[in-house]
Each structure stands twice: as structure tokens, then as C-alpha cells.
Amino acid sequence: MARSDLSHVDEQGRPRMVDVGGKTETRREATARTLVRLPDEVTSRLSGGELMTSKGPVFATAIVAGVMAAKKTHELIPFCHPLGLDDCAIDVEPLEDGLLAVTCRCSITAKTGVEMEALTGASVAALTIYDMCKALSHDIVIAETRLMEKTGGKHDFRHGA
């Protein structure tokens, strides 16, 4: 791939922010998911769909942290545009065998997409779960973070499609 094919690199190979000034505002949505594997000593604390530790309700705290992070993505990722998200929702779903699915859905009507916001929200929510549970075990694994779907802009994307 030539450097000019990369949106954040100019013709001379220097990093740059993408100029979205000439783009049309469209509805843009993105969903990202992070998988977290919890050992038995942590999953044994699951009750009624929530995980409680001495630091408080883990999933509720992770949801708040993930939304806060998504809103601050431009402060963390150098070439992300500052965006006023229309919506951001985090879901923490216990799956089988100590696996959690942390899903972040973001939406906006804008000139640029919200993939990075969704990825950041899911990642920070997962990191918050780790932080709040690490006193119980350091065998927690943040297994994978991936973009599941995006709509709006030039191309739509759906994982596995």
C-alpha cells in the first residue's frame, strides 16, 4: 500500500489529520466489541447480571467509564476529530464459561465516522472491568477488540459479511 493510500499520511509520508471540510454530513453508526475472560474466582461473584466487588458494581461502573472514554476519543487518538456524539451505549453481557462481551454502539450525524469512539468505549469499559476485579485475580484476559459494524460514509462494514 502506497503511503498516499493511507488517509492519515500525506504525499511526503508525514502524519496528518484528514480534512473532512468538503464532506457531507450523514448518519453514521458503529458497533465495537471487546471480549473479556474472567477466571472462576471472579465469575463466582456474578449475581443477577452484575458483578460486585469492594469497589462497587463492576458492570455499571464500566458502562459509565466506556461512555466517558468514547466522548474523549479525540483526546486519546491523535488524528481523531472531536465529535459530539448523538448517542453512546455500552452493554456488558455475560456469556458462557466466564466470557463477557462488552459492546459499545455510537452514533452521530457528521462528516466523519465513529468507529474509533466505539472501539475506545468498548476497550475502556473492558479495562475498567479488569481494574475493578484485579484484587480478585490477575488472570483476567482482555481477549479481543474488534469493529463489528459501521454504517454511513463511503462504505458500510459488517464483521463476517
Known catalytic residue at 131:
yes
CB 122 within 8 A of CB 145: yes
CA angle 131, 70, 10 (to 5 degrees): 120
Cα Rg, the chain, nearest whole Å: 18
The secondary structure of residue 21, as a DSSP letter, is T
Catalytic residue chosen out of the listed positions 91, 131, 139, 156 = 131
Other C-beta atoms lying within 10 Å of the C-beta of residue 136: 18
**What is the identity of the amino acid at 148?**
M
Q: At 32, give phi and psi (nearest 5°).
A: -125, 155
Measured between alpha carbons, how far is 130 from 77 in angstroms, rounded to an integer? 22
Contact present, 42 and 133 (Cβ < 8 Å): yes
Q: Which residues are catalytic?
A: 131
